[in-house]
Structure 1
Amino acid sequence: MDTDFKDIVDAVQMALRSVGAEVASPWFYLQFGLILAGAAIGLATNAAIRARVDTTSLAMRWPLPMRHFARVMVSSAATAVFAVLMIVSRVVMWHTTWPSRSYLLAVSAKLALAWLAICLVTSVIRNALIVRLVSIAAWLVAALSIIGQLDSAADTLDSVAIEVGGLRLSPLLLIKAGAVLLVAVWLTNIASNFAESRINRASDLTPSIQVLLVKIIRIGLLVVAIAIALSAVGINLSALAVFSGAVGVGIGFGLQKIVANFISGIILLADKSVKPGDLVTIGDNSGRISAMKTRYISVAAGDGREFLIPNEDLVTQKVTNWTYTDKNTLVKIAFATNYDADPRLVCKLAIDTAASHPRATKGKAPNCILTEFAEAGMKFSLTFWIADPDGMDNVKSDVMLALWDAFKRDGIRVPYPVREIRVRGGALPVESVVEVSS
């Protein structure tokens, strides 16, 4: 242990002496000035290019790879110009003086080129957070490799480790595992998106089966990617058995709802009780199912709101599915008329009005019946079918407005409450109101 500590101290002292000798040289300040000048020219060039070039319409007629490369170069113009200037400065000083006197220029050029390559590679990733993490991590690795300190940094990270159930965990191992997992998950996402696009184009599969297949493929590819990634960094999967008990306890105490919603989602997709596009009513929430996720379904209410309902609620609660086996929907309208109207004429007008609506099903004739002789008038019930429950309230409103117009034409009145007050024994006494002021 003392020997390792002494070696580290010696390495630090040697590095400090090397830096001190470099800083004391006048060539250091020349290179530093050239680096600052190159950075300033790069920033100015970048501002000028952004003011004159529209990246959206840039190279629209070029092939996709060339167009993508051109847009990345334009967005990273400052780094590209800086890299070119550093390379030119390095070549000039290489031929005019000793190569060691342009070492900082060479390092700056390599770092700039590495950042350009990283920007080009990460430009295909859509998640901004992942792009930032990958870019910073890759650039740090490139920087350590350029200055020749990658192996020593890796040895330092690997020297600190702990043993957990026969598994040796070190910072280096965790970094490697995280990087490989990130790449594996990214590739898995690409593969699953491709499979989803192919499945969604299959017209012989129902929407629920499509969603179920997509979920199974995503979960399967994710499990395989994690297993391959852990094996690639040297982690024995059997050593992870020590964590299975903790995971089981976590599921039993804190994750039971998540697991219940996940299993309920699989059940819903398998039994086809609900599927994307169905019009459902769950409690006080009604709308059309827009998406089925692992934990919940999304129900679009049609007014801009979306209800996120846990899958478990759909399994354990009453759900009204308006389009489960048949999209044909019966519309019911209750109305009343006064006793001066002919009930047979009222029923005929109501049937004709409902049948004339463009969304009324032609194969099923509307029906109107007299339901009650009430105190205020006669009550009727009009029923007719429409082919789709979507917009049922609008259809009902249209028929009621048309029925109102028909009643006006035929002199049929809608009853309204009438109250008659009879006073016996003369006029009512009027009491005077005295206002008392304090």
Structure 2
Amino acid sequence: MRLGLLFRLFCLILAFYAAISIYGVHAPWRRHVGAAAILLSTALVVALVNRYVWDFYFEKKRQTPIPHFLREVVGGIIFLIVLLLVLSYGYHAEAQLKGLLAGSGVVAIILGFAGQNLFAGIIGGVSIQINRPYKVGDWLQVGERFAEVMEINWRSTRLRTNDAIYLDIPNNEMVSHTIVNLHYPTEVHAMRIRVGVEYKNPPNRVKDALVRAASTAEGVLAEPKVRVFLVDFSDFAVMYEIKYYMGNHARINEINDAVRTNVWYELKRQGITIPFPIRTLQVERKTPPRVQEEQAEARTILRDEALFECLSDEQIDGLVRQSRVSHFGRGERVIREGAEGESMFVLLSGAAEVSISKNGASIPVATLKAPDCFGEMSLLTGERRTATVRAETDCQVMEIGKPVMAELLRASPDCLERLSELLAKRKMETEGLLKEAVSHTQTARKEREYRDTFLHRLRTFFEL
């Protein structure tokens, strides 16, 4: 049965008059009536506080529920203050109050030491109810634990983990520590899983596989998209971190299981190995090295390239052996427009985008694929790069430098004539002279002019 405010006020007045009778405080009946009226009017003050402070301001305007315990404590303090004022000024009971307060002060100190944790929890509970850093149903990270908020009372917060273990944490500890609310402002939040793979696997290939695996796992949200980062080069593996987004944290175990399971199968399909965390002794048997395969591929490409038609097979073999094969990851820049250069490149595998800069913007103009070559003008004449080439996929390119080419031209001076003719023809094609309706005599004269110019530049550049 819930007792009303007037009944509790009646009990307070009854206790008040019992106390003044015991202490022998006498007063005329008019003073008793005045004291009773003041104490009764206190009920109106408490009702106004409940109506306009708790109900209207906090609960309606700020959407902050106020616990019943806090209302009772504030009401009791108001009644106590009014009671002390009535006794002091209405009945002149200062002497009795001093003795009472002195005795109660000692008791209050003893109770304060005995119940400091209890009171700290109550104050923390009031702070949580007002600030509302979390609510029932939210998932929190408290230290190393993840748990769901089941109940918030005046003393403590009750949590439940995924293993159905209940944690009862005093509110003063919840207030004094950093709490991560995974469901604020929405349930969508990111989680991370780390995976190690062998060093031999190209990073972009591994990232693509991990993105596919995590994106198709049940429970992983389509937006925001899954992202993969290379985070460390450890002793036995290259470490990658998968960042994915999920909703309600209650399914964390099932979603982590789905992501890891998909990762295992996807890496298995792609031939990517997750290494054992041990040190192993690897014995390699003699097999045709990858370098020889790359050189054979480059040899075939150069044999079909018009610029190297004048070279013998032995000279092309020497050119390939002295050139360097480099790997470029997706998005990496191979050459930059306007940069100085003394080499050309042969695209052995992958694809690359050619772009030029115009009005401050990068404009794609072509796509290169194996077995395309690029950068030959810089190799043969030392011209600055006329375009930027950036890898669209992981690429393997062979770079032929000026010193290697100079050695071949010194051994085969007749190649200078052939190279100057090819460069002149390419320049005329670029300028569109071969497509214009001009006389054969004018075309021949222009071609001869370009050929002589390039021949001079070749001899000057290679110091021949």
TM-score with structure 1 setting the length: 0.43
- Of structures 1 and 2, the larger Rg is shown by 2
Give the strand-richer structure, 1 or 2.
2
